[in-house]
Amino acid sequence: MPEQHYEPEPAVAGAAIGGTVDVGVEEAETLEKRPKGRGGPGPRDRPRSLWSDAWRDLRRNPVFIISGLVILFLVLISLWPSAIASGSPLKCDLARAQEGSRPGHPFGFDGQGCDVYTRTVHGARTSVTVGVLATLGVAVLGSVLGALAGFFGGVWDSVLSRVTDVFFAIPVVLGGLVLLSVITSNTVWPVIGFIVLLGWPQIFRIARGSVITVKQNDYVQAARALGASPSRLMLRHIAPNAVAPVIVVATIALGTYIALEATLSYLGVGLKPPSVSWGIDISAASPYVRNAPHALLWPSGALAITVLAFIMLGDAVRDALDPKLR
Amino acid sequence: MLLEVRDLHVEFHTRDGVAKAVDGVGYGVDAGETLAVLGESGSGKSVTAQAVMGILDTPPGRITGGEVLFQGRDLLKLKEEERRRVRGAEMAMIFQDALSSLNPVLSVGDQLAEMFTVHRGMSRRDARAKAVELMDRVRIPAARERVGQYPHQFSGGMRQRIMIAMALALEPALIIADEPTTALDVTVQAQVMELLSELQREYDMGLILITHDLGVVADVADRIAVMYAGRIVESAPVHDIYKAPAHPYTRGLLDSVPRLDLKGRELYAIKGLPPNLTHVPPGCAFHPRCPLARDVCRTDEPPLYEVSPTRGSACHFWRECLNG
C-alpha cells in the first residue's frame, strides 16, 4: 500500500520527533494522526473525507489513468464524431467494397463499400449512449428499490427479492431475442429499456445487502439515539456509506451493457441498419471475414477496448473505495 | 423523579426460544444524580437502556410490559414520531466505541451541527459556530481548525469527547452512557469520565452510567443498581454497597476486583457462567453460582427485599450477606 488511509500508531512517534507538539499531561492524547510522508511536523491534517482519500488514490493509479483517458476519448468522439471523421457513415460506394487501407481511408472499406474508419468512430456514440443511459437507469431503479428493501425489510423486502429471482432466471440473450424482436422502433430506447429491465436486479441485490450491512453499524444506532428521522438516517447516514459497492458494480456493468448492445445488434434485434453500431458492423462483416478481415477487426477492436476500459475503471474505483480488498 | 423505569420486561424471540433479556427491571434517576448500572455482559443493562431510549430493534426484541416514566410521561405510550423528538433533545445516549458511533463519511463538525439544524432548525452557519463552541466545551484543542475533520483523524479519547459533545448539544435532561470508557486507554478513561461528570454537574443532568468497571463507579456514581440475568439484584447508594454488599453477587463482583492491600493472594472469581437467558434457572437465577444457596433458592424467586428505605436486595439471605 503506497499510502495508508487510517494512519497507524507510529504517527505518534513522528509527531513527537517533529518537536512542535506540546506534550501536556492533559492533552497527551492529541499526539495523533499527522500527515506522514510529507516530512516532519506539517500543519495539522487537512480534512480528509473518504471521497477525497479515494480520489487521491485514483489519481496515482495507472490503471485509472489509462482507462480514464480511453473513456474520455470515447465520450468526446461520441459527442463530436465529425471532429475526427468528417465523412458520413452512411455514404457508401459499392465499387470499393472490401478494399483495404487507402490514403484518407485508414481502416479500408466494408462489404457495402462504407468507410470502416468513419463507421467505427460514429459507432461509439451508440455504445456510449446505451452504456451510460442503461447504467443510469439500472443504478437508479436498482439502488432505490434495494435501499428501501434493505432499510425497511419485512414483507416488501421478501416480495422484491423474489421478483429479482424471477428476473435473474431470464436468460439475457434469449430474453432479448423474444422481447426485442417484436419492437419495430429503430432507436436506442428499446435496447436501453430491455437492459434496465434485466439489469436492475443485480444492483438491487448489491444495494440491499450494502444497506443491511451499513444499517447495523453503531453510528446509525447512535444517530437514531440522537433523534434522527428515518429519512435522515437513510439519506445522511446510510446511503453515503452504502453507495460505494453500487458505484463499483455499476461501472463494471457499464462495460458489459455496451457488449450486450453489440450482441443484440449483431443478432439483429438491437439496433438495425441504417443505425450505426459496432454490433451491426461486426454482424455485417462476419460473412466476409476471409476476404476483408479488417472490416471485422476494427469495430470488434473498438468494442473490446471500450468494454475493457470500463471494467478496468470499475476495478480501479473498487480498489480506491475499498482498500481492504487489495 | 426525572426518569423512573417500572417493572420493565423485554423479550427476544430467538431460535432457541424466548429470551427474557429484561425481566421486571425498575430503577430511577433524579436530576443531577448519577445511577450506575452494573452487570456482566448479557445481564440486560444495555437492553434496558435501549428500551428507555426507544432504539431497541423490534423485531427481534419486544417490550412486553412495564412503564418508562420520563418527566411524568410514559414514553412507551408515545408515538414513534413523538419519541423521536424526545431523543437527542431531552435524553441522549453515549455509546461504547466512539469510532464506530460516528459516521465515517461526515466531518465531525457536520455531525455536531446536525443536532442543531435538525432539532432546532438553525441555519447551517449558526449550527457550525455552535459545533465549534461544543468542541471547545469538551476541550478539544484547536476546535476551530479541526471542526472540518473526519472521525478517523481523531484519537479514541477525542472521538469520545465528540460523542459527549453530540449528546450534550441540546442540553438534555438525561444522558445514558453505555460503557463510555471501555474502549479507551486507562489514562484517557479518567479524563473522559471526569469531563462527563463535570458537565453533568454543570447542566444538572441525570446520568445513567452503564458499566462493568467498579473503579469508575466508586468515583462518580450516587446510586448503584446491580443487574443479573435481566433483573435488578441489588439497588443501593454507592457507599452502602462498598461498605457491605447485601447480595452475594455484588459481593462476588467486589471481591473480584484486584486490590493493593491484598497483593499476592489469589484473586477471587465468581464460579460458573451467567445463565442462558432462554433457560434461566428456577428460583433465584444466581443460585447455581451462589455460595449461600439453600433449597429455598432453587424453588422460590426472591423479591427485592427492603434492606433500608433507600436500599433493596433480591436475596433471601441478605442479612447473612450484609454481615459478611
What are the sequence ranges of the domains in chain A? 1-46, 54-325
Residue with cell string 469531563:
B195
Higher pLDDT, residue B264 or B44: B44
Query: What is the SS3 assignment for B69?
Result: strand
- CA of A89: how far to CAs of A84, A85, A97, A191, B17, in Å? 12, 9, 14, 21, 72
pLDDT band of residue A43 (cuts 50, 70, 90) is very low
Q: At what angle do helices A189-215 and A116-152 cross, to 10 degrees?
A: 40
Q: Are A310 and A258 in contact (CB under 8 A)?
A: yes
By C-alpha distance, the chain A residue nearest B103 is: A219
pLDDT band of residue A46 (cuts 50, 70, 90) is low
Nearest to B149 among A27, A47, A225 (CB): A47
On whether any CB of chain A is under 8 Å from the CB of B18, the answer is no
CA distance A266 to A122: 17
**Digit-coded pLDDT (tens) for A73-126:** 999 988 888 888 777 877 877 777 777 777 877 887 877 778 888 888 888 888
**Digit-coded pLDDT (tens) for A247-284:** 888 988 888 898 888 888 888 888 888 888 888 888 88
Nearest chain B CA: its distance from A9 CA (Å): 10
Q: Are A6 and B152 in contact (CB under 8 A)?
A: yes
**Of chain B residues 218-247, which have a CB less than 8 A from chain A?**
none
If you write DSSP's letter for every residue of B162-231 in order, what string do you get? HHHHHHHTT--SEEEEESTTTTS-HHHHHHHHHHHHHHHHHHT-EEEEEES-HHHHHHH-SEEEEEETTE
Asked if the structure places residue B224 within a domain, the reply is yes
Nearest chain B CA: its distance from A38 CA (Å): 16
pLDDT for A39? 38
On whether any CB of chain B is under 8 Å from the CB of A30, the answer is yes
**ipTM score:** 0.79
On whether any CB of chain A is under 8 Å from the CB of B163, the answer is yes
The DSSP element (H or E) to which A202 belongs, if any, is helix A189-215
Q: At what angle do helices A50-59 and A293-321 cross, to 10 degrees?
A: 140
Asked if the structure places residue B74 within a domain, the reply is yes
Residue type at B234 in one-letter notation: E
Check pLDDT > 80 for residue A146: yes
Asked if the structure places residue B91 within a domain, the reply is yes
By C-alpha distance, the chain B residue nearest A50 is: B105
Nearest to A232 among B118, B166, B167 (CB): B118
Nearest to B95 among A6, A222, A236 (CB): A222
A and B: number of Cβ contacts within 8 A: 109
By C-alpha distance, the chain A residue nearest B108 is: A47
Asked if the structure places residue B244 within a domain, the reply is no
Query: What is the SS3 assignment for B272?
Result: coil
Query: What is the SS3 assignment for B33?
Result: coil
**Overall domain count for chain B:** 1
Check pLDDT > 50 for residue B183: yes
CA distance A272 to A275: 6
Check pLDDT > 60 for residue A5: no
Nearest chain A CA: its distance from B95 CA (Å): 7
A54-325 is classed CATH 1.10.3720.10: yes
Nearest to B253 by CA among B40, B49, B96, B36: B40
Residue with cell string 481492504:
A324
CB contact under 8 A, B104 and A219: yes
Percentages (nearest 5) of helix, strand, coil residues in chain B: 40, 25, 35
For residue B116, give the C-alpha cell: 442543531
User: What is chain B's mean pLDDT, rounded?
Assistant: 86
Contacts of A49 in chain B (CB under 8 A): 105, 107, 150
Asked if the structure places residue B238 within a domain, the reply is no
Q: Buried b vs exposed e over B28-51: b needs ≥16 C-beta within 10 Å?
A: bbebebbbbbbbbebbbbbbbbbb
CB contact under 8 A, B107 and A223: no
pTM over 0.90: no
Residue B205 sits in a domain whose CATH number is: 3.40.50.300
Q: C-alpha A217: how far from its chain's center?
A: 27
User: How large is the average pLDDT for residues A26-46?
Assistant: 43
